[in-house]
């Protein structure tokens, strides 16, 4: 499990994930501020290309780096309008874990 605590209010990120990408919330233990690596592995094992992009985006935010290699060009080509709006809104007003 990976533990990151950099937000003044980590609860905001938890609420944001649960509202905007609820299917990805199980990858995290928000109370402990941990990524649940087993759940991440399970997610990517069965994920479609679109789901990979969404997962890479949220995990890049969590880790605050690009280890998961979120690709904006691929995202623009692949994701639907709802996903793109979520990403654009986050870029305009980032919420960190």
Backbone angles phi, psi at 91, to 5 degrees: -60, -35
pLDDT tens-digit series, residues 8-50 = 677 999 999 999 999 999 999 999 999 999 999 999 999 999 9
Backbone angles phi, psi at 70, to 5 degrees: -65, 130
Range of the domain at 58: 8-92
20 found inside a domain: yes
The structural domain count of the chain equals: 1
79 found inside a domain: yes
2 found inside a domain: no
Predicted confidence at residue 4, as pLDDT, reads 38
Whole-structure pTM value: 0.87
* Separation in Å, CA 39 to CA 19, 42, 45, 95: 19, 5, 10, 22
pLDDT tens-digit series, residues 53-91 = 999 999 999 999 888 899 999 999 999 999 999 999 999
CA distance linking residue 66 with residue 75, whole number of Å: 14
3 found inside a domain: no
């Amino acid at each position: 499990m990976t533990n990151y605590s950099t937000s003044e209010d980590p609860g905001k990120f938890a609420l944001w994930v649960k509202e905007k990408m609820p299917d990805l919330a199980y990858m995290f233990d928000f109370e402990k501020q941990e990524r649940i690596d087993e759940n991440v592995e399970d997610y990517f094992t069965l994920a479609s290309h679109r789901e990979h992009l969404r997962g890479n985006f949220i995990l890049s935010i969590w880790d605050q780096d690009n280890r998961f290699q979120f690709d904006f060009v691929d995202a623009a080509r692949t994701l639907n309008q709802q996903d793109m709006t979520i990403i654009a809104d986050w870029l305009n007003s980032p919420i960190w874990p």
